[in-house]
Amino acid sequence: MVHGVGDLGDGIDEPDTGGEARSLDAAAQASCVARPVLELGECASHIDRTQLFHESTVARRPARSQGKIVADCAAVETLQVVVGAAIVDGERVLAAQRSDPPSLAGFWEFPGGKVDAGETDEAALIRECHEELAIDIMLGARVGRDWPIGEHGVLRVWLAAVAAGEPTAIEHAALRWLTVDELHDVAWVPADLPIVDRLAAMMSNR
């Protein structure tokens, strides 16, 4: 079966010039990526697929409790928000190989980066994919909710599809399209591993 985005739905202010937000060393990332803060609360097979695909950049806000963002590791006043795109093309997902920093060079990740001040998460992700890959994307459903990254950061990942352009490795060492059976054939950055597992389950169930 061929998958589309709609079938699967389950210094902070400085621009991210190479995914610096995920530049924590592997050990620091692995210490706080065991699970998302909030699960979707339902199996992907029970989600209304007609509601998953959209082209909007409407801001989404994280859950709050008494004015503080609820994080899995700790409630903190300010979180560094990193966004990523699981770009789907049929039965394949795009992976990007990091070229820096040295501690993460050679590892693979979902394209994306930090949200700049005044940006919505969605607008930041569209911008990052244009800067990193020279493509325009359309966003689908979130993959999980907030995935802890480091001590004071969260990673938010969306399903996406290429709307215009051809993915080009502008800031990465290489790009690779992976089928669901190949998702674990590459070494992913620790922060992205739980999302890879979730995505593999979503694609396998279609």
178 HSE (CA, 13 A, CB side) = 26
pLDDT tens digit sequence for 123-171: 999 999 999 999 999 999 999 989 998 888 999 999 999 999 999 999 9
Burial (0-12, 13-18, 19+ Cβ within 10 Å), 185: exposed
Q: What does the alpha-carbon distance between residue 50 and residue 48 come to, in Å, rounded to a whole number?
A: 6
pLDDT tens digit sequence for 83-126: 999 999 999 999 999 999 999 999 999 999 999 999 999 999 99
Kindly state which CATH superfamily the domain 5-204 is placed in: Nucleoside Triphosphate Pyrophosphohydrolase (3.90.79.10)
Q: How confident is the model at residue 6 (pLDDT cuts 50, 70, 90)?
A: low
pTM value > 0.95: no
pLDDT tens digit sequence for 66-80: 444 444 444 445 889
> What are the DSSP calls for 78-113, one per residue?
--EEEEEEEEEETTEEEEEE---STTTTT-EE-SEE
At 24 the three-state DSSP class reads coil
DSSP label at residue 12: T
pLDDT the model gives residue 4: 60
Residue 42: other Cβ atoms inside 10 A = 9
